[in-house]
Chains A and B, each alone.
Chain A
Amino acid sequence: MYDFNYHRPASATDAAAARKAAADGVYLAGGMTLLPTLKQRLARNSDVVDLAAAGLAGIGRDGGTITIGAMSTHDSVATSSEVQSAIPALAALAGGIGDPQVRNRGTIGGSIANADPAADYPAAVLGLNATVHTDRRDIKAGDFFTGMFETALDDGELITKVTFPVPAAAAYAKFANLASRYAIVGVMAAKTGDGIRVAVTGAAGNAFRATAMEQALAGDFSAAALDGISVDADYNSDIHASAEYRRHLVGVMAKRAVGEIA
């Protein structure tokens, strides 16, 4: 690890100011990706702005909306009684991320800001039509994920919270890498106020909606309605799964998720 200046601001405003003043600063959320990267000397940031004390954790329900602070850990989402009762699929998704160490350190804000192609949360944000709130604006789920590790966030823009409209029903199914629990393919299916949504993570550079499946499910919400639908995408291919296998898994995971609801 190279030397860096460490900041531990007490508010989001102070965090943004520290980040702005730094030559090459970076926010530290749970550190599940950033810390190994720094330790391996694969990044050399002049300043690390730790968000742990910035007051960004916390989960609440306001009518039909669940609000999750950016620094809420996966474990806190998985075990929240409010999330469990309003959006059980979201609690289950959070409970299936990584291992207990990751779930007790990793955060929702860190996960979606990092936008790892195999992360679970992007499927929830997109599938449940969440809104990402930053210190500057509100970003709709559909506009947020723009590429592999790329988001609509500007340099220094800080996620403060994520709001999820409570869906009529939702389920998440993933085919996990057995070592890391990363999604080789994960599918969130939901009946929302905005219609049927099917969001896929792990399969391509960034999470995306399977619109062909959404249309089929709008007429007949059943796993059988997905028979024969092959979702076109720029599929990833790596040592864990080929592009063809991922394409196949999207169909299988979508049927499992829909089957759980229907």
Chain B
Amino acid sequence: MDIGGEHQIPAAREAVWRALNDADILRRAIPGCEELEKISDTEFNARITAKIGPVKARFKARIQLEDMDPPASYTLTGEGQGGVAGFAKGAAKVRLLDQGEGASVLKYEAEMRVGGKIAQVGSRLVRGAARKTAAGFFANFVAILGESAYGKP
């Protein structure tokens, strides 16, 4: 399953890049993220609660940043274990384009897979849920950038 998108961000590319590597901003932006712990500059451990309708599953996730090319792109890979609910894993190629005048465009292409019960009972919903989660992340991310010092030149 592949999803992708493009978002206008009213902040300079360097500021967006710093924010994309900031554990606190990521924690606030990732929908359902309860905890995000920075292990190293490129590794995070997270606890995320995913909610789709009546289904509520807690995932323990490991997130890694690879192919770092600051401030232009990186690849984010993640793997989450949800206990009886199943697992999810995926990778997202994230690119930042400088639009000048303190504005940038973020593009991402992601592929993800889910397995276990959550895939068995909810296969028709997984893509919609993934897209909703991605949209929620970017909406939160843009909002946080707007209110924090990151957005200022």
Q: Which residues of A contact B (CB under 8 A)?
A: 26, 33-34, 36-37, 40-44, 114-118, 147-149, 205, 234, 236-240
What residues of chain B lie closer than 8 Å to A234, measured between beta carbons? 131
Give the segment of B14-22, B93-101, B115-123, B141-149 that binds chain A.
Answer: B115-123
| A40-B117, A42-B85 known; A117-B54 Cβ under 8 A | no
**Chain A residues with CB below 8 A from B33, complex form:** none
- Interface size grouping (class) on chain B: 10 to 19
Determine if A43 and B132 form an interchain contact, defined as CB atoms under 8 angstroms apart.
Answer: no
**Total CB contacts across the A-B interface at under 8 A:** 58
- Is the CB–CB distance between A148 and B52 below 8 Å? yes
The answer to whether residues A117 and B55 also contact, given A40-B117, A42-B118 and a CB cut-off of 8 A, is no
Q: Apart from A42-B121, A149-B52, what are 8 other A-B pairs with CB-CB below 8 Å? A: A37-B55, A41-B84, A41-B85, A42-B85, A42-B117, A236-B124, A237-B127, A238-B124
25 residue pairs from A and B, CB less than 8 Å apart: A26-B54, A36-B121, A37-B54, A37-B55, A37-B121, A40-B84, A41-B85, A42-B57, A42-B84, A42-B118, A42-B121, A43-B54, A43-B55, A43-B56, A116-B53, A117-B125, A147-B132, A148-B52, A148-B125, A149-B52, A205-B128, A205-B132, A236-B127, A237-B127, A238-B127
Distance in Å: Cβ of B106 to nearest Cβ of chain A: 19
Interface residues of B (CB under 8 A from A): 52-57, 84-85, 117-118, 121, 123-125, 127-129, 131-132
Q: Which residues on A sit within 8 Å (CB–CB) of B84?
A: 40-42
A41, A149, A238: the one within 8 Å of B53 (CB): A149
Assembly CA distance A26 to B51 (angstroms): 14
Q: Which 10 A-B pairs have the closest CB atoms?
A: A149-B53, A238-B124, A42-B55, A37-B54, A41-B84, A148-B128, A43-B56, A34-B54, A43-B54, A205-B128
Rounded to whole Å, the gap between the CB of B141 and the closest CB of chain A is 18
Q: How far is the CB of B42 from chain A (nearest CB, A)?
A: 32
Bound-state CA distance A235–B56 (Å) is 24
A116: chain B residues within 8 A (beta carbon): 53
Question: In the complex, which residue of chain B has the Cβ closest to the Cβ of A44?
Answer: B56
Q: Which residue of chain B is the closest to A115 with respect to CB atoms?
A: B53
CB distance from A45 to the nearest CB of B (A): 8
B85: chain A residues at CB < 8 Å are 41-42
Residues of A within 8 A of B55 (CB): 37, 42-43
Q: Is the CB of A42 within 8 A of B56?
A: yes
Q: How far is the CB of B128 from chain A (nearest CB, A)?
A: 5
A236 touching B128 in the complex, CB below 8 Å, given contacts A42-B85, A42-B121: yes
Whole-angstrom distance between the alpha carbons of A149 and B52 in the complex? 7
- With both beta carbons as reference points, the residue of chain A lying nearest to B53 in the complex is identified as A149
A239 with B56: CB separation less than 8 A: no
| A43 to B52 Cα, complex, angstroms | 10
A33 to B118, CA, bound (A): 14
Note all chain B residues with C-beta closer than 8 A to A42: 54-57, 84-85, 117-118, 121
Instruction: Report the minimum CB–CB distance from B143 to chain A (whole Å).
Output: 17
Pick the contact of A239 from B52, B57, B123, B131 — CB < 8 Å? Answer: B123
Q: Which residue of B lies closest to A206 (CB)?
A: B128
Task: Give A156 to B52 CA distance when docked, in angstroms.
Answer: 17
CB B48 to nearest CB in A, in angstroms, measures 15
Contact yes or no, B124 A240, CB < 8 A: yes
Report the Cα distance A40→B124, complex, angstroms.
17
| Bound-state Cα–Cα, A34 to B118, Å | 14
Using A26-B54, A42-B55, A149-B53 as known contacts, say yes or no to A239 and B124 having CB atoms under 8 A apart: yes
